[in-house]
Structure 1
Amino acid sequence: MSDQAARAQVFGQLHETGVFVLANAWDAGSARLLTGVGFPALGTTSGGLAFARARRDGDNLLSRDEVLANAAEITDATRLPVSVDLESGYGETPEDVAETIRLAARAGAVGGSIEDATGLKDRPIRALDEAVDRVAAAVAAARALPFPFVLTARAENFLYGRPDLADTIARLQAFEAAGADVLYAPGLPDAEAIRAVCSSVGKPVNVLAGPAVESVKRLAELGVRRVSLGSALTRAALGKVLEAAAETATEGTFGFLASTPSYDRINSLLD
């Protein structure tokens, strides 16, 4: 069995019972650090990558080549399974989406997500039939690979000002019928919405960590199988940079160093 096939097998098994956290890395260094902490699998983050490249997220400002190069750096930096945030698939046609899946696998990924957002301000969410065709193309490409690639389908309503739970569930059900392995509706507002989604589909549900539910344990009770951190760790890191820089720039002090990991500590985690 190849290394990639072995990672794929582990990743698939993680979805079978219980719940696990998918920590999202934005570069090779963060991937290595998160591996050392003890997470069982990693994801990439389009938001984290966009921020690291000084770009806004969600505006189609990352190219497929950039995302896949980032994915390859992350898969090379860890022994863990990696699922790639592939946004809406980087192309206008279902075949473009299928090619993106094939290229993600070539970059070392054992999973990936396709969302129904467009990146267009006047039409942020695709029509359902169009979104389903794209998911179906991604599923077909995934099934043709020589290992079990976990395809996650995302319904983005709640991230784009469309808090329609019934439509979100209908989309996830359609994606499930199209063959998606995992279903994901980021931004669900509360525990009841999460419970409703989990009880309405038969495939594992991924939930974005957020203030609506306070713990992994509680999410498991609601029926969640996988928890993503999205861009949260990137934002946490950048938030600390902003705090430390503001202290030094405005106060002329270095108090932030008291809670900063030592040089040797970071070095040791990157061995």
Structure 2
Amino acid sequence: MPAPGATMSPFSALHHGDVPLLLPNAWDHASAVAMARQGFPAIGTTSLAAAAAAGLPDGTGATRDRTLELALTLGPQPFLLSVDAENGFSDDPDEVADFACRLAAAGVAGVNLEDGMGSVDRHAAKIEAVKAAAPGLFVNARTDTYWLGGHDEAETLSRLDAYQQAGADGVFVPGMADERRIAALVARLGVPLNVLYSPTGPTVARLASLGVARVSLGSLLYRRALGAALEALDEIGAGGRVSGRTPTYAQTLELAAPTPAER
């Protein structure tokens, strides 16, 4: 929770409401604007989609420029933006803080920083540096103990404790789906918990009942979009008609138009 008397940012406030913040993750201007027009007050980016769309590997630091470009494109939009910045694209906390400042200057409300199961102290130092340089930026500190590691509960708690102490505004444990562990973690934490939605895991309603504050969709929508394209090809190739929701050419073109705030 924010310190007594501190002003909570609009993005932070979305993590302290009666329902979890359901955060869809976009990969370009059109997808972000389309999602926002569905009524979502905040949109995230997804590193996998940003990398795949540019023909680059994910999680290797190769998308730093692409991530900044996307932030500059989406930051001025009339929705709150959280940027997936992998590990900050550097092992140097000062360089990570500099990148965070550039995001904040672009209008970004939050940043997701992942530890990749690397040094706890180094990741904590990055969080401290970012909060010192851009205090208004919501730092969502991600640990990959479930995503890349062996689901070690003690390791997860140790890392999250360090990240909270470093000043993280929220913590993210992608891959955690066990309801008992989620509820126990919520009870232990002093900041909002973010989990990654899984089609085979708990529903958003169930996660809300467990006390989860933020539910991210990650790369799911991008992968679903690719799947829909392949399904359409199958339907056309089989002599059938394309099913599903398909925006018209004019609707898609309109998604690329500048918003009133950009004009």
So what's the TM-score if we normalise by structure 2? 0.87
Structure 1, unmatched stretches of 5+, are: 1-7, 118-124
Residue 236 (structure 2) aligned to one of 224, 248, 263: 248
Whether the 8 Å CA contact 1:21–1:40 is kept in 2: the answer is no
Aligned position for 1:134: 126
- Per-residue deviation, 1:169: 1.8
Cα deviation code 1:40-81 (max 9, x no counterpart): 21111111111211333223331x2221111111223x3011
Cα deviation code 1:104-134 (max 9, x no counterpart): 11222011111101xxxxxxx2122222122
Residue 210 (structure 2) aligned to one of 214, 222, 233: 222
Q: How many residues align?
A: 249
Whether the 8 Å CA contact 2:61–2:90 is kept in 1: the answer is no
Cα separation, 2, equivalents of 1:33 and 1:24: 11
Aligned position for 2:261: none
Aligned position for 1:5: none
Aligned position for 1:178: 166
Cα separation, 2, equivalents of 1:268 and 1:106: 27
Pairing 1:71–2:57 present: no
Superposed, which structure 2 residues align to 1:35-114 within 5 Å?
35-62=36-63, 64-76=64-76, 78-114=77-113
Cα separation, 1, equivalents of 2:150 and 2:95: 26
Seq. identity, %: 38
Structure 2, unmatched stretches of 5+, are: 1-7, 258-263
Cα separation, 1, equivalents of 2:17 and 2:49: 29
Identify if the C-alpha distance between structure 1 residues 240 and 185 changes in structure 2 by more than 3 Å, giving closer, same or farther: same
Cα separation, 2, equivalents of 1:248 and 1:212: 29
Aligned position for 1:193: 181
- Per-residue deviation, 1:212: 5.0
Counterpart AA for 2:139:
L
Cα deviation code 1:201-247 (max 9, x no counterpart): 11011111113534222111111111111111111111111222234
Cα separation, 2, equivalents of 1:36 and 1:269: 10
Runs of 4+ with deviation above 6 angstroms: none
Cα separation, 2, equivalents of 1:96 and 1:264: 42
Secondary structure of the residue aligned to 1:97 is helix
Whether the 8 Å CA contact 2:43–2:81 is kept in 1: the answer is yes
Cα separation, 1, equivalents of 2:251 and 2:240: 19
Aligned position for 1:30: 31
Cα separation, 1, equivalents of 2:182 and 2:52: 28
- Per-residue deviation, 1:95: 0.7
Superposed, which structure 2 residues align to 1:147-158 within 5 Å?
148-158=136-146
Secondary structure of the residue aligned to 1:151 is strand
Counterpart AA for 1:74:
L
- Per-residue deviation, 1:260: 2.8
CA RMSD after TM alignment:
2.0
Query: Which segment is superposed worse, 95-104 or 126-135?
Result: 126-135
Counterpart AA for 1:139:
K
- Per-residue deviation, 1:190: 1.9
Superposed, which structure 2 residues align to 1:207-218 within 5 Å?
207-211=195-199, 213-218=201-206
Cα deviation code 1:246-270 (max 9, x no counterpart): 3434x2x242256434445545666
